[in-house]
Structure 1
Amino acid sequence: MARFSGKVALVTGSSNGIGRATAIVLAKDGAKVTITGRNAQRLEETRQEILKAGVPEDHVLAVAVDLVSEEGQDKLINSTIEKFGRLDILVNNAGTAFVDSEGRVGIDQDVSDYDKVMRINMRSVVTLTQKAKEHLIKAKGEVVNVSSIAAGPQAQPEMTYYAMSKAALDQFTRSSAISFIQHGVRVNAVSPGCVTTGIGEAIGFPPGAFEKMASFWESHKECIPSGKVGQPVDIANVIAFLADRNLSSYIIGQSIVADGGSTLVMGMQAHDMMAILTSA
């Protein structure tokens, strides 16, 4: 029997990237899945990918909504319960950043960008989790939040607002985990490093800019020690692990870092000290 057989999962931001990969992994492992995003065309592409994996059509529900909207969130939860009758796994994956229209970064960005980032990356997570709470308690379910290594402790001077939202998400993960575990519901998170998700162009980078940056990171040990930018499925597999109580039952309120080693290195560690010590 597939490990998520009989379970129902709701994955936000599943029209591409990590969300899409997560929905596919969970569905292939037996879960019925609700996929959601604002772009109906990309959402349909996700649905088709799931069906190509051999998943029955009635195991997939696509709901195109704006997650920032309370009405959209209500539709998302109600549609899931109406179709599947329960909710076992909530994956809060939807998130974004914004490139300032005037090219400003960090603390120089207009505070309206801060408001937009926090509404999507943090407020929507809080309110959707609140709306899903009663159903998760009934199912003794799981919540997995998608954070980022940008949450710290390293500074993020160019993406300050994004980093702040993810730091807040980490605290929400810890605090809500204690509240939820009293009801048998686990809350955890994953903190990805650099992952090829398509977010670059979505937030306003020129076409190919993210790929150029990723290529630089891969070639510099101080950026990604493993020498490889992550793929969405790499993070999806961690999410599936955290959603699988048989494998991760004693993990409560934690964030698993999946970053190819990026957060483990400092400047001096990024170079081969033995080669320097033994050189003529």
Structure 2
Amino acid sequence: MPRFSGKTVIITGSSNGIGRSAALLFAQDGANVTITGRNADRLEETRQLLLKSGVSEKNINSVVADLTTSNGQDQLVNTTVNKYGKIDILVNNAGAAIPDSQGATGTDQGIDTYQKTLKINLQSVIEMTQKVKPHLLATKGEIVNVSSIVAGPQAQPEFMYYAISKAALDQYTRSCAIDLIQFGVRVNSVSPGVVATGFNNAMGMPDEATQKFYDFMASRKECIPALVAGKPEDIANVILFLADRKLSSFIIGQSIVVDGGTTLVMGAQAHNLNVLLGLSTV
């Protein structure tokens, strides 16, 4: 029997990348999945991918929604419960590194950029956790948050608000884990390194520059000792591991780093990526 047979999973940010890969793996392993994103076309691509892999239509709940709004969050929770009757696993994957609207960098980045970044990367996780909590208490379920190695302790001046949001998410994961384990609900997270997804494109980086970035990082052992950028399924497999009570039952409030060895060296900090990508000459 598939290990997630009869389980119901909400995966935020599942219209591409890590979330899409996690949705596919969960569904192929027997779960009912709620997939969601703001882009209807990309979300439909995820749904079609699941269907073509042999997943039944009845096991997919596809919801176009803005996770930063209360209505969007309620839509996710309510449609899932209405269709499947329960929620067993919440994967808080949605997130973004939002460029400053005026092109500012470092400490000159606007407060509006900070607010937008924190709203999607942290506040939406807190709100979704609160709204799904009663359902997870009933099923003694699992929460898996998707953080990042930029959470620290190294400085991240180019995208400091993104790094701040992920550092805060790590603390929320730890604190939430202790608060909820008394009720039998486990909370953990995964911290990806460089992973080849649509993340950079969402920041406004064109395909050519995105590929140049991945190629550069993968070619430098001081950036990625494994000499290869991660794939979405590399992270998705860890998400499923953390959501599997049989395999990871004694892991509480931890963040598993999946980065090809990057955090052991952090040599990428010595390179000016803006120069590499042609965004700056200094």
Q: TM-score band, normalised by the shorter chain?
A: over 0.9
Q: Are 2:81 and 1:81 equivalent residues in the alignment?
A: yes
Q: Distance in 2 between matches of 1:266 and 1:94?
A: 25
Deviation sequence 1:155-180 (CA, Å, 0-9, x none): 11111000000000000000000011
Q: Are 2:173 and 1:149 equivalent residues in the alignment?
A: no
Q: CA deviation at 1:48?
A: 0.7
Q: CA deviation at 1:97?
A: 1.1
Q: Distance in 2 between matches of 1:41 and 1:15?
A: 9
* Range that drifts further, 212-221 or 162-171: 212-221
Q: CA deviation at 1:106?
A: 2.3
Task: Supply the AA of the counterpart residue of 1:142.
Answer: E
**Counterpart of 1:68?**
68
**Counterpart of 1:229?**
229
Please say if residues 5 and 29 of structure 1, whose CA atoms lie closer than 8 Å, have aligned partners that are also in contact.
Answer: yes
TM-score between both structures, scaled by the size of structure 1: 0.94
| SS of structure 2 residue aligned to 1:227 | coil
Q: Distance in 2 between matches of 1:231 and 1:45?
A: 18
Task: Supply the AA of the counterpart residue of 1:83.
Answer: K
| SS of structure 1 residue aligned to 2:207 | coil
| SS of structure 2 residue aligned to 1:187 | strand
**Counterpart of 1:4?**
4
Task: Supply the AA of the counterpart residue of 1:15.
Answer: S
Please say if residues 101 and 113 of structure 2, whose CA atoms lie closer than 8 Å, have aligned partners that are also in contact.
Answer: no
Please say if residues 98 and 204 of structure 1, whose CA atoms lie closer than 8 Å, have aligned partners that are also in contact.
Answer: no
Q: Are 2:223 and 1:217 equivalent residues in the alignment?
A: no
TM-score between both structures, scaled by the size of structure 2: 0.93
The residue correspondences of 1:118-133 to structure 2 (distance < 5 A) are 118-133=118-133
Deviation sequence 1:100-154 (CA, Å, 0-9, x none): 2332222211111000000000000000110000000101000000000000011
Q: CA deviation at 1:207?
A: 3.0
| SS of structure 2 residue aligned to 1:195 | coil
Q: Distance in 1 between matches of 2:212 and 2:134?
A: 45
The residue correspondences of 1:15-34 to structure 2 (distance < 5 A) are 15-34=15-34
Please say if residues 99 and 205 of structure 1, whose CA atoms lie closer than 8 Å, have aligned partners that are also in contact.
Answer: no
| SS of structure 1 residue aligned to 2:187 | strand
**Counterpart of 2:163?**
163
Q: Distance in 2 between matches of 1:210 and 1:194?
A: 12
Q: Distance in 1 between matches of 2:129 and 2:106?
A: 29
**Counterpart of 2:14?**
14
Q: CA deviation at 1:99?
A: 1.6
Please say if residues 14 and 23 of structure 1, whose CA atoms lie closer than 8 Å, have aligned partners that are also in contact.
Answer: yes
The residue correspondences of 1:178-193 to structure 2 (distance < 5 A) are 178-193=178-193
Deviation sequence 1:23-48 (CA, Å, 0-9, x none): 00000000000000001111111011
CA RMSD, Structure 1 to Structure 2 (Å): 1.1
Deviation sequence 1:220-278 (CA, Å, 0-9, x none): 110000000001010000000000010000000000000000001166xx9xxxxxxxx
**Counterpart of 1:277?**
none
Q: Distance in 2 between matches of 1:6 and 1:223?
A: 41
Task: Supply the AA of the counterpart residue of 1:157.
Answer: P
- Structure 1: tracts of 5 or more residues without a match: 271-280
**Counterpart of 2:258?**
258
Q: Which has the larger radius of gyration?
A: 1
| SS of structure 2 residue aligned to 1:208 | helix
Q: Distance in 2 between matches of 1:180 and 1:238?
A: 21
Seen in structure 2, the aligned counterparts of structure 1 residues 266 and 16 have a Cα distance that, compared at 3 Å, is closer
Q: Distance in 2 between matches of 1:95 and 1:120?
A: 6
- Structure 2: tracts of 5 or more residues without a match: 271-282
Task: Supply the AA of the counterpart residue of 1:11.
Answer: I
